Structure 1
Amino acid sequence: MENFVIIDIGSNSVRMAIYCIDPDGSYHEIKRVKNDTRLSEGIGQNNILQITAMNRTISALRSFKSEYSKYKNVVVRAIATAAVRQAQNQKDFLKNVYKQLHIKVRVLTGKEEAYYDYLGISDRLAVKDYLLMDVGGASVEIIHVRNQKCIHCVSVPIGAVKISEQFHLIDHITAANLFEAESYIAEVYSRIPWIKKPLHYPIVLIGGAARAIARINRRYQHLSHVDHIQNFQLTRKQVNVTVETFLNRNLAERQKINGLENDRADVIIGGSLCLTVMMNFIDSKRVIFSNGGVREGLINEYIENNPHFRK
Structure 2
Amino acid sequence: MENFAVIDLGSNSCRMTVTEIEEDGSFKRGQMTKAFVRLSEGMEASGELQELPMARTITALQGFYAVYSKLENLTLRAVATAAVRGAKNQADFLERVKQQVHGLEIQVITGNEEANYDYLGVINTLPVTNCVIMDTGGASCELVLVQNGRVQNLVSLPFGSVNLSETFLVHGTDQVAAVDLFRLSTAVQRLFNGIWWLHRGQNLPIVALGGSNRTIAKIRRKEKKVADYEDIHGFRMTVAEVDDVYANIIGRNLAQRKAIPGLSKDRADIIAAGITPIVTIMRTLDSGRVVFSENGVREGILYEHLADLRAHGRIGEVDKSAKK
Query: TM-score category by the smaller chain?
Result: over 0.9
Structure 1: 5+ residue runs without aligned partners?
none
Superposition map of 1:184-223 within 5 A: 184-223=187-226
Tell me which of 158, 177, 182 is aligned to 1:179: 182
For residues 74 and 123 of structure 1, what CA distance do their matches in structure 2 show? Answer: 23
Aligned length: 311
Deviation at 1:166, TM superposition (A): 0.8
Corresponding residue for residue 55 of structure 2: 55
Q: How does 1:72-221 map to 2 (within 5 A)?
A: 72-101=72-101, 102-168=103-169, 170-221=173-224
What's the CA shift for 1:123? Answer: 2.1
- Offset of 1:26 from its aligned partner? 1.9
TM-score by length of 2: 0.94
Deviates more, 1:129-138 or 1:98-107: 98-107
Match of 1:40, SS state, is coil
Residue of structure 1 in register with 2:18 after alignment: 18
Q: Distance in 2 between matches of 1:156 and 1:44?
A: 15
RMSD: 1.0
Identical pairs, percent = 41
> What's the CA shift string for 1:59-90, capped at 9, x where partnerless?
11011111111111111100000111111111
Aligned partner of 1:281 in structure 2 is: 284
Paired residue for 1:7?
Answer: 7
Aligned to 2:244: 241
Q: Which moved more, 1:39-48 or 1:132-141?
A: 39-48
- C-alpha separation in 2, matches of 1:66 and 1:222: 36
Q: Deviations over 1:263-300 (max 9, x none)?
A: 01111111110101111111111111111100000011
Code of the residue aligned with 2:245 in structure 1: it is T
Which position in structure 2 is the counterpart of 1:310? Answer: 316
Q: Could you give the per-residue CA deviations for residues 110-130 of structure 1, whole angstroms, max 9, x where no partner exists?
A: 000000000011022223110
Structure 2: 5+ residue stretches without partners: 318-324
Residues in 1 aligned to 2:269 and 2:282: alpha-carbon distance in whole angstroms: 22
Instruction: Quote how far apart the aligned CAs of 1:170 are.
Output: 2.2
1:188 CA drift (Å): 1.2
SS in 1 for 2:37: coil
Could you tell me which residue of structure 2 aligns to residue 296 of structure 1? 299
Once the two structures are TM-superposed, the CA of residue 45 in structure 1 deviates from its matched residue by: 4.3
Separation (CA, whole Å) in 2 of partners of 1:242 and 1:179: 18
Q: Which residue of 1 aligns with 2:32?
A: 32
Task: Tell which deviates more after alignment, 66-75 or 169-178.
Answer: 169-178
Distance 2:207 2:45 in 1: 29
- Equivalents in 2 of 1:158, 1:294: separation in Å? 17
Distance in 2, Cα, partners of 1:73 & 1:16: 17
- Rounded to whole Å, the distance in 1 between the matches of 2:46 and 2:200 is 33
Q: What secondary structure does 1:305 align onto?
A: helix
SS in 2 for 1:60: helix
Distance between the aligned counterparts of 2:124 and 2:64, measured in 1?
29
After superposition, give the CA deviation of every residue in 1:123-143 in whole Å (9 maximum; x if it has no partner): 222231100000100000000
**Aligned counterparts of 1:158 and 1:30: Cα–Cα separation in 2:** 32
Letter in 2 for 1:193: W
Q: Could you tell me how far apart the structure 1 residues matched to 2:274 and 2:167 are?
A: 12
Task: Quote the Cα distance in structure 1 between the aligned partners of 2:144 and 2:132.
Answer: 6
Which letter maps to 2:114? Answer: E
Aligned to 2:44, what secondary structure does the other structure show? Answer: coil
Write the distance in 2 (CA, Å) between the matches of 1:106 and 1:257. 36
Distance in 2 (alpha carbons) for counterparts of 1:300 and 1:151: 19
CA distance in structure 2 between the aligned counterparts of 1:62 and 1:127, rounded to whole angstroms: 37
Higher mean alpha-carbon deviation, 165-174 vs 72-81, is at: 165-174
